[in-house]
Amino acid sequence: MKLIRIGESGGERPGVIADDGTRLDVSAFVADYDEMFFADDGLSRFERWLKQNTASAPRVAQSARLGSPSSTSEMIFDVPYLVSYVSQFMTLLSGDIISTGTPAGVGLGMKPPHYLKAGDVVELGIDQFGESRQTVVTWNP
């Protein structure tokens, strides 16, 4: 299962992509994927709810817009600063992507905090630009 946000910008609601690729609107269970959702075992409660309610949860069209719960305006450092900083250590070329993660810090909001570990998969995308997928590996010096 993948947690997603669906709908037009400013009107997004929580959803999931089931293992079979089905997209479900889960706003009947949770208003937003925020710190309150991840607190107090929220993900486990959500998984139990989903098992009981998958059949009745509204389906979402494959053509529906997927969105993010945050934007660059919420970042600690703005885009020009990040480009300037990264370019001190490497040459940036046209088309390079600087992946910053989510401003809200999804794992930070969990109790206890949950950070990426080897084997986790991170997917990101920008409408009309494409998608990227990375698998986390352990760094071995």
Task: Mark whether 15 and 55 lie in a shared domain.
Answer: yes
- Residue 6 burial (C-beta neighbours within 10 Å; 0-12, 13-18, 19+): buried
Q: What mean pLDDT is reported for the chain?
A: 78
pLDDT tens by residue, 69-92: 456 677 778 888 988 999 999 999
Same domain, 18 and 78: no
Q: How far is CA 37 from the centre of its chain?
A: 14
pLDDT (tens digit per residue) in 100-125: 766 555 565 555 666 777 887 777 76
Tell whether 46 and 113 lie within a shared domain: yes
Beta bridge mates, 123: 133
61 with 114, same domain: the answer is yes
**110 shares its domain with 79:** no
- Domains in the chain, number: 2
Query: In this structure, how many other beta carbons lie within 10 angstroms of the beta carbon of residue 36?
Result: 12
Q: How many residues belong to the chain?
A: 141
Task: Say how far apart CA 61 and CA 24 lie, in whole Å.
Answer: 9
Is 58 contained in some domain? yes
Residue-range definition of the domain harbouring residue 86: 70-103
Q: Which residue has the higher pLDDT, 97 or 102?
A: 97
The answer to the question of residue 140 being in a domain is: no
Tell me how far the alpha carbon of residue 11 is from its chain's centroid.
Answer: 16
> Does residue 41 fall inside a structural domain?
yes
> Is residue 11 one of the residues assigned to a domain?
yes
Is the Cα dihedral 37, 39, 45, 50 positive or negative? Answer: positive
